[in-house]
Chain A
Amino acid sequence: MTPLLDVRDLTICFPNATPVRNLSFGLAPAEALAIVGESGSGKSLTALALMRLLPGAARIASGRVRLDNDDLLALPEVEMRSRRGRDIAMIFQEPMTSLNPVLTIGRQIAEVLQLHRGLTKAQARREAAELLDLVRIPNPERCLDDHPHRLSGGMRQRVMIAIAAACRPKILIADEPTTALDVTIQAQVLELLDRLRRELSLSLLLITHDLGLVGQWADRVIVMYAGRKVEEASPGILFERPLHPYTRGLLAASPRLHDRLHYRSARLAEIPGNIASAATQAGCPFAPRCPDRLARCRTNVPDERDAASGRRVACHVDLTESSRGLHHDAALSY
């Protein structure tokens, strides 16, 4: 199946750093793909790069982002503008600050409808009310005339989702959509995103550092470390048999993640070292923290390769299934 969105060799750089390197992935229609990584792994920059909304100093050094038959990165800015919010929409981490405090909710939703769908003010208002209803905001008519500060964080994120979904985009990028929210609200917002994905048959790109979300809401997971993809698999397989040492470390560091993972130690495992040290060195970025590293890990960057059951991994270590269980235990006993 040809993916709806096809990202090839995306490289993003700052003047003195390269936070995303040669990243490739595809997104199928109506698929939910999660990109997981700790802060600094380049996942949020990747999301912004797809929208071509990278902040100030960051720029796209190379790569291709194909949506339908166009390379988004090659479009003129004006053309790209007409895609934003219409074909590809995005919601952000901070619902508290992502809405304009001086404009009404209705105005902020109607704005995008008037822009991309050419609705009149009255039509846009009606549609905005329906959208608020769609994202399950009680009393949508009244909410239209409210200002953002009257709403809770969860409600504001629903409004953000309503804005993003307003033009029935093909792709919805959700950058840490629930990080700023309370646990109970998190589940509601994710449920809403999942429902919209089915009802509007849009593809969801979920950017998160929370492995818990991945298991429940994603069809496929990409694990990123220091700007590179280290592993890609469906969540079930990933949790059952993580291949890459980093993924294993992550899972070991996650409490109560999966019923089938049994802890032998009360102490929470941690991955030694930190991501910052990986930014500049040669070889595999994870090598300094890796329990299984080989000599060549220090010098050569591992290529991404296919592994069993449709997964991909970038690691020099022999990752045969038989050796996994043993390493798994090792990972847990850091």
Chain B
Amino acid sequence: MTDAILDSTRPAERSPDDRLRTDPERPEWPNIHAPDTHLIAADAGHSRSQLLRRLGRNPSFVAGAGLLLVIFAAAVSAPVLFPGDPLSMVARPLLWPGQDLAYALGTDSLGRDVAAGLMHGARVSLLIGLVATTIGVAVGTAVGAVAGCRGGRIDDILVRIIELFQTVPSFILLVVLVAIAQPSITTVTWAIGLVTWPTIARLVRAEFRVLREKEFVMAARSLGFSDSRIVIREILPNALPAIIVTTSVMVATAILMEAALSFLGLGDPNVVSWGSMIGSGRELIRTAWYLTALPGVVIVLTVLSLNLIGDGLTDVLNPRLSKE
């Protein structure tokens, strides 16, 4: 039969079997053909200032960053505004918020200033959240990168280990680890880092597996660059958007985990923490519910700010995930 081809985009050769030939022309139906994340990432990386401008216009990111900034400022200024030990008794117990303006947010059953506790608690929460996430991301990226780049047997083994850690309920493992190691800021931080790394490892492995097959990596390889150079200069920067988005959510998760731990009494007993404030306030929920409510609100705001930042980053760095 005759074969007149008008369509310039149509591939010239045909496959012998009867199967789909993908047609790169724009579909006229508004099909969300998920664009390649990595291509977008590469595009997004072209102009850093443009990226920042897009972030600046993203309402989620702006709201989240603003909120986090306030909490960060509170954490930094806590020793200045409340120089004393937040765990020491400063006033009459169980002052309600507003009752005494010197203790605007009230005092707990031991006469400790709630406002001081909240601001010092911000230091602990943010510190643990950031350091634990750094540990998790470092371990996860290392494991994921090795698994994704090497492939083969090493990949099989590492995937098994990642799966293993993803199967064990992470919070229960966290409780066990902290209980065994005795709770302190250091042990809690390490334990959170150790239970969260598989998330990032899985992600990095998946990204690396895709990226290492990309043309620009092939090109670098054909030029004889060393593996480490290819990983650091070519692959990692392109996997970064996905890692960054996940990291912001991981900080939120770490803060939630720390709060839950200290709520259960598994936090560092020597520092004030939002979770432990709720834990000690719950006994008085019938009479002094503000002791439970206030630290909770602060946790929600902190976690919310991080999640909003994560949403904003997803919108800007990874539009595929938020496509309407």
Contact = CB atoms under 8 A, between A and B. Distances in A.
A and B touch in the complex (CB under 8 A): yes
Interface of A: 36-39, 44-45, 48, 55-57, 93-94, 96, 152-154, 179-187, 209-212, 215-216, 250, 253-258, 274
Given A36-B6, A152-B18, A250-B4, 15 more contacts: A38-B7, A38-B8, A44-B28, A56-B30, A94-B20, A153-B20, A186-B1, A210-B6, A211-B4, A212-B4, A216-B1, A253-B6, A254-B2, A256-B3, A274-B8
B226 interface: no
Interface residues of chain A: helix, strand, loop or mixed (majority)? loop
B30 A38 contact: no
B25 interface: yes
Nearest to B9: A39
Contact of A153 (B6, B16, B19, B29): B19
B5 interface: yes
A209 to B, nearest CB: 4
B28 A55 contact: yes
Contacts of B19: 96, 152-153, 182
A311 B25 CA distance: 31
B213 interface: no
B14 A257 contact: no
Contacts of A153: 18-20
B215 interface: no
25 contacts: A36-B6, A38-B7, A39-B9, A57-B30, A93-B23, A152-B17, A152-B18, A153-B18, A154-B18, A180-B20, A182-B15, A182-B18, A183-B1, A183-B14, A186-B1, A209-B5, A210-B3, A210-B4, A210-B5, A212-B3, A216-B1, A250-B4, A250-B6, A256-B2, A257-B4
Contact of B7 (A39, A55, A94, A256): A39
Nearest to B26: A39
Interface string B109-128: 00000000000000000000
Contacts of B5: 209-210, 254
Interface in B40-69: none
Interface residues of B, number: 24
B21 interface: yes
A212 B18 contact: no
Contacts of A253: 4, 6
Contacts of B16: 182
Contacts of A210: 3-6
Nearest to A181: B18
A96 B8 CA distance: 22
A259 to B, nearest CB: 9
B31 to A, nearest CB: 8
Nearest to A212: B2
Nearest to A179: B23
Counting from the closest, the 6 A-B pairs by CB-CB distance are: A254-B4, A212-B2, A211-B4, A96-B20, A38-B6, A209-B6
A297 B236 CA distance: 55
Nearest to A183: B14
A32 B2 CA distance: 19
A255 B20 contact: no
Contact of B17 (A37, A182, A274): A182
B14 A182 contact: yes
